[in-house]
Structure 1
């Protein structure tokens, strides 16, 4: 009679455990979905937010094993855009800069300057090579530099270099003045003893790395980024729907944990009842 009762209890626990096992085996954690996302994008697609155009520069998918050997899939992407920003450059005092297809030396005078001068750097070699009457290089006599010039009679004479070469062009600028430089219209922002600071507005490429389910801000708009596969990036501003799905997934996870407990308790109870059945009776 005792063993018959044990068999009934064991069968009951096994039925409960089997039902729990079936639920665990067939249960699937739902994936995040967006019925009407703001953007559903592939690599190379462009989209606009608050007047700014963005491009999906990259979408990647990688697989890695965790500590217990399960394969985890990680997805991410990168956004790229161009924005007009203020850029700057500093010319050091007495440095040489390229301007208008030529070279110019930056010259600043005084202890508290408000202006500077660009002094043309003459290409003396080019000037000498273009003059058939002059030697292609200068000579030095008694510490002075000369150009050897041959007249029509074949006689050579020494011409002081300062007299032979033209006076270099000079251009003066003050803080607030504008000039053309490197394809930009630049403004003299500040002049100090050490150098000149130029500013201008120009395009600059920026990038943003985007991870799975990351909250990002584009312009004045917040989005949740989601990668349903290795080729698609979804951007949605519907945080209410996203939070509701997270809550549902959390609820299902808690239910799954409860079912696991039922399965474990059922198995342990069955073993305990079976063990108790073999305990010798004192009566």
Structure 2
């Protein structure tokens, strides 16, 4: 009689567990939907937000296998735009820079300098090559540098290099001066013993990586991003609807976790009752 009662309870536990298992098996995780998005974009499409133009430079889809062998699809994208930003460049003391179509050496003097000088770097090889009466390279005699020059009689004589080559051009700039460099107007922002800092305002390419169902800010506007397929990116400003759907997904996940708890407890209860029914009685 005792075992019959246990059998009834075991059957009841198994029935409850089976019902929970059936609900788990038939439950479907809801997909987030984004109705009437502000933008539906493909790769290389441009769009404008708050007066700024943006470009979708990439929309990608990859497949990855998780630990249990299921294939997960990951989608992402990248957006680029240009902003006018303050940019800078530094020239180290005694370094050679390209300026005004030629090479110049940066020269800074003094302990607390406020200016610097660009000294023209002469192309000595080109100057010697243009002179039919001069050798193709300088020579050194007793620690001094000379140019071998032939006179009208064909006799060679040594001309000190400092006398032969023209004096290099020099240009001096102070803090606050403007100069044309690399196709733009730059300002001397600071001069120290070790370097010169130039600043200017110019376009800079900015980029933003976009993930599936991520919230991004473009200008002053927030969007929720979605990739409905491997080649499309949608942007929606309806964050309230998005958050409501997230709350519903969270609620269903909690419901699903509760069903799993019921299933586990039911199976364990049935096993324990069945085992208890076969424990020999002392009486």
Say whether 1:36 aligns with 2:43. no
1:199 and 1:223 mapped to 2: Cα distance?
A: 34
Q: CA 1:234–1:142 in 2, change beyond 3 Å: closer, same or farther?
A: same
Q: Which residue of 2 is the match for residue 88 of structure 1?
A: 88
- TM-score (norm. length: structure 1): 0.81
Greater Cα shift, 228-237 or 259-268: 259-268
Once the two structures are superposed, the pairs formed by residues 154-233 of structure 1 within 5 Å of their partners are 154-233=154-233
* Equivalent position SS for 2:251: helix
Alpha-carbon spacing, 1:261–1:197, altered in 2? closer, same or farther (3 Å) = closer
Tell me the SS of whatever aligns to 1:213.
Answer: coil
* 1:218-267: CA deviation from partner (whole Å, max 9, x where unpaired): 22222222222322222222111111111222333344445556667777
Distance 1:138 1:267 in 2: 97
Question: How much does 1:177 deviate?
Answer: 0.9
| Deviation of the 1:118 alpha carbon | 0.7
Look up the SS of the partner of 2:28 in the other structure: coil
Q: Is 1:150 matched up with 2:150?
A: yes
C-alpha RMSD of the superposition: 3.4
C-alpha distance 118-24 of structure 1, shift in aligned 2 (>3 A): same
Q: How far apart in 2 are the matches of 1:272 and 1:124?
A: 98
Q: What CA distance in whole angstroms lies between the structure 2 residues aligned with 1:10 and 1:110?
A: 96
Whole-angstrom distance in 2 between the partners of 1:253 and 1:72: 19
Measured in 2, the distance between the counterparts of 1:271 and 1:151 equals 116
Gaps of 5+ in 1: 279-283
Aligned counterparts, 1:1-283, within 5 A: 23-258=23-258
Alpha-carbon distance, 1:77 to partner? 2.1
In structure 2, distance between residues paired with 1:88 and 1:184 = 12
**Aligned pair in 2 of structure 1 residues 177, 263: CA closer, same or farther (>3 Å)?**
same
TM-score by length of 2: 0.81
Give, in angstroms, the shift of residue 130 of structure 1: 0.4
Distance in structure 1 (CA, Å) of the matches to 2:122 and 2:46: 49
The verdict on how the C-alpha distance between 1:150 and 1:42 changes in structure 2, with shifts beyond 3 A counting, is same
Distance 1:140 1:17 in 2: 100
* Partner-residue secondary structure (3-state), 2:91: strand
- After superposition, the Cα gap between the structure-2 partners of 1:6 and 1:155, relative to the gap in structure 1 and judged at 3 Å, is closer
Partner of 2:281: none
User: Matches of 1:158 and 1:272 in 2, distance apart?
Assistant: 111
Query: Aligned pair in 2 of structure 1 residues 101, 19: CA closer, same or farther (>3 Å)?
Result: same
Q: SS at the partner of 1:44?
A: coil
Match of 1:281 in 2: none
Q: 1:141 to 1:16 in 2, by over 3 A?
A: closer
Q: Distance in 2 between matches of 1:270 and 1:18?
A: 12
